[in-house]
Structure 1
Amino acid sequence: MRVIFNEEMRQVADDMDRIAGAVSQAIKTSGKALLEPNLDAAQEVIDGDQAIDQLEGSIIDQCVRLLAKQNPVATDLRVIVSTLRLAATFERMGDLSRHIAEAVRRAYPDPPLPPEAHDLFGRMQDFLNQMSDRLVAMLSDRDTKVAEQIIIDDDQLDQLHQQTFDLALSDEWTGSKQQMIDLVLLARFMERIGDHGVSAARRVVYIVSGFDPTKDPKDLEDID
């Protein structure tokens, strides 16, 4: 019975790796669509969101079957329940990437952002690109050190997010009213992707250690 359980958990883990990779690609491609802007890249993200949704559905179905058939307890129960929440977190990150792509498509051929916002959003996207790579590595290896770094670094994205408001209210702003709306929405989508990345990192720490970390580095020192 244990052999069957382990095999089914490996299948779930493989699907989690796939959804993490798909979401990482969606984050990067939506950023490319935003910063160029690139209509083909935007459409690729929009079209690809269905595959992410299907992976989430598959993971949920497998986890529910495991709960019903195997009656797991202790660590096994913690892993399955946490995996359910991880799948939902990654699916939401995919949705947010799709929202960014849809904003690009809606504004095309005009850019959704004025020129003075390009550098700031470029830095936000660089942060998300790095975070998405870390998420894939973290999930594949159950690496709590990578998870810790994702949690700690989130303050950087929060600071960049705040700067988008400062820019919109500054004398440097040359964009239209629609671009101001898009700036606020796009910045929020990107900031929320980062928040969901932190949620995923916390969940992996919990899977590995049973410890529920916060953004305070002092609370993470005892994690192996």
Structure 2
Amino acid sequence: MRMKFQEQLDELTDQLASMCHLAEQAIEAATDALTQADLPTAEKVFDLNEQIEALRGPCEEQAIALLALQAPVARDLRQVITGVHLVSDLSRMGGLAQHVAESVRRRHPNHVASGQAEQLLERMGRLAAELAGLAEQVLRTRDPELAAELDHRDDELDSLHRQLFDLIQDPAWTGSITAAVDETLLGRFYERFGDHTVVVGRRVIFLVTGKQLAQ
């Protein structure tokens, strides 16, 4: 019985890591689409998000089945509950990547952003993809030290987000109101994506140590 339970937990972990990998691909593709005003690449993000959502249902069902049929306690219970929360976090990451792609589709064939703002957004997007890749490693290894690294790397993303906000607010900035709205939203999407990778890391730390880190 114990062996079967562990096999089911391992399967759930693998599915969660797969969702994270797809989210990494989605934010990478969304950033490519953003910087190139590339509609086919933007459409690819929608396909990737559908794949993420296709995994969400089975993950939730498996976690609920483990709770109902195995009645886990202590660390086993933490693993299942953590899995339930992670499904939601990873789904939101896919949704945020899709929001970037929607912006590209809405403004196509024009670029959503330009100049320094586009450069900052690209850097945010590349870093967000790196964070998702690190989060996948954390899910597969359950390494609390690697999980803590997500917090530090996200500080870089927050710094880029502040730079973007300062640029848009600068009196010398000559962009339109529409551009300001678009670029502000895009910065927020990337910033929130990074926040969710940090949450993934914190959930893994809780799973391994039983300690809940302060937000």
TM-score norm. by structure 2 comes to: 0.95
Structure 1 residue aligned with 2:140: 140
User: Does the CA-based 8 Å contact 1:24-1:132 persist in structure 2?
Assistant: yes
Q: Letter of the 2:92 partner, please give it.
A: R
Indicate the residue corresponding to 1:168 in structure 2.
Answer: 168
Q: Which amino acid is 1:31 matched to?
A: T
Partner Cα separation in structure 2 for residue 100 and residue 173 of structure 1: 23
Does structure 2 retain, via aligned residues, the 8 Å contact 1:116–1:172? no
Q: For residues 78-112 of structure 1, give each alpha carbon's deviation from its aligned partner in whole angstroms, at most 9, with x where no partner exists.
A: 00000110111000000000000000110000111
* Structure 1 residue 172 displacement after superposition: 4.3
Partner of 2:150: helix, strand, or coil?
Answer: helix
2:170 is the alignment partner of 1:157: no
Q: How large is the Cα RMSD of the aligned pairs? A: 1.3
| TM-score for the superposition, normalised by structure 1 | 0.91
1:198-209 pair list within 5 angstroms = 198-209=198-209
Aligned-pair identity in percent equals 36
Number of residue pairs aligned between Structure 1 and Structure 2: 215
**Bigger Cα displacement from structure 2, 152-161 vs 105-114:** 152-161
Which whole-Å CA distance do the structure 2 matches of 1:194 and 1:183 have between them?
17
Verify the 8 A CA contact 1:150 1:198 in the aligned structure 2.
yes
Structure 1 regions of 5+ residues with no counterpart? 216-224
* Amino acid aligned to 1:16: L
Q: Using the alignment, how far apart are the partners of 1:154 and 1:11 within structure 2?
A: 28
Unpaired runs of 5+ residues, structure 2, are none
- In 2, the alpha carbon distance for the partners of 1:37 and 1:147 equals 34
Out of 171-180 and 45-54, give the one that drifted further: 171-180
1:210 corresponds to: 210
Note the C-alpha offset of 1:13.
1.6
Q: In the alignment, which residue of structure 1 is the partner of 2:63?
A: 63
